[in-house]
Amino acid sequence: MDNEKFFRSKIVGVGGYLPEKILTNKQLSMRIETSDEWITERTGIKERRIASDKETTSTLGIEAAKNALKNANISAKYIDLIVVATATPDNTFPATATLIQSGLGIKKGYAYDVQAVCSGFIYGLELADNAIRLGKSSHALVIGAETFSRILDWNDRSTCVLFGDGAGAVVLKSTEQLSPNFILSNHLYSDGDYKEMLYVDGGPSISDNVGFLKMDGGSVFKHAVKNISSAITDALVNNNMSIKDVDWFVPHQANSRILDAVSKKIGIDNDKIIVTVDKHANTSAASIPLALCEAVSINKIKSGDIVLLAAMGGGFTWGSSIIRW
């Protein structure tokens, strides 16, 4: 590619994949002390998907990528960059992105993982967007894929009811400066002082096991509302916009209480918010691309719409993106 030209990233395809197995609140109530009413009232979640023993993060990601490529009407042979956002990789190494690259039969370009938990998809979008803007990529896949069911303590009702498995993907294509439809900006942040509020208590450098997810729910809620709202404000100011200019808000699908609090704080109409947490639960890095996929599939998001993305994850990490679709 000619590095002297100025390029932008356009999302030309979206795709998602969910495991077949559905775990409902009622089924969970038979395993732990909880109820459908308790979970629904506090989280808005009704069910979640659980990967089978034969499924991994990479296999979910491969299927989501195939669906995104089909939606974009682009052959995998044109992909020269794959960024996979995941906190639940198949292996410590190699990168899950390289496994997906192999599974798609792609022999060129490069592939790597990014780990920012629930903010991971926005982090991945920024990395792929930068590569395209610099002329280092012409067609990129950004994938959020997770198997959080493998790091949950299924006896801890404060965490196991919240999460599910799945994968979502977008295809980015390089477009020249004059195109009106592109990623306008991405905004990333982190603060490592809050690790104890949301983390996994295992890992290859500190233990001999994968570990389980641990969370201080009340503290995470407060930081999520503050940080996500701040990231949204930064994105709007950077683009000389107000919240009224946004056609669709696609937040990380953590739980309904966080979504409601953020929406009230930024002042967006409820009918502009894409919500899938009731069906998918919190799928971490996969939640935003899965929600995008659903919104596009039912013709909510259309060409020319201003789409706002925002998320916060463990670390803490958080961020936002504004896209003219």
Domain edges within the chain: 7-176, 183-324
Asked whether 316 and 216 are in contact (CB, 8 A), the reply is: no
Radius of gyration in angstroms for the set of CA atoms belonging to the chain, rounded to a whole number: 19
On the question of a common fold for 7-176 and 183-324, the answer reads: yes
Question: How far apart, in whole angstroms, are the C-alpha atoms of residue 297 and residue 13?
Answer: 11
Question: How far apart, in whole angstroms, are the C-alpha atoms of residue 94 and residue 226?
Answer: 36
Question: How far apart, in whole angstroms, are the C-alpha atoms of residue 17 and residue 36?
Answer: 25
Q: What is the pLDDT of residue 263?
A: 98
Asked whether 263 and 248 are in contact (CB, 8 A), the reply is: no
Q: Which of 71, 227, 255, 282 is catalytic?
A: 282
Terminal CA-to-CA distance of the chain, rounded, Å?
24
Q: What is the pLDDT of residue 2?
A: 47
Examine the residue annotation and report whether 252 is marked as an active-site residue of this protein.
yes
Residue ranges in the chain modelled with pLDDT below 70: 1-4, 177
Q: From the CB of residue 181, how many other CB atoms can be counted at a distance below 10 Å?
A: 16
Spatial CA neighbour of 12 closest among 313, 296, 298, 318: 296
Asked whether 125 and 142 are in contact (CB, 8 A), the reply is: yes
Examine the residue annotation and report whether 280 is marked as an active-site residue of this protein.
no
Q: What is the pLDDT of residue 176?
A: 82
Question: How far apart, in whole angstroms, are the C-alpha atoms of residue 226 and residue 98?
Answer: 35
Examine the residue annotation and report whether 160 is marked as an active-site residue of this protein.
no
Q: What is the pLDDT of residue 1?
A: 45
Question: For residue 204, which phi and psi values (nearest 5 degrees)?
Answer: -65, -25
Q: What is the pLDDT of residue 4?
A: 59
CATH of domain 7-176: 3.40.47.10
Token pair 């439809």: residue = 181
Per residue in 94-120, is it b (16+ CB within 10 Å) or e — as a string? ebbbbbbbebbebeebebbbbbbbbbb
pTM, full prediction: 0.97
Q: Which of 25, 67, 71, 118 is catalytic?
A: 118
Q: What is the pLDDT of residue 151?
A: 98
Q: Which of 252, 255, 280, 293 is catalytic?
A: 252
Topology (CATH) of 183-324: Peroxisomal Thiolase; Chain A, domain 1 (3.40.47)
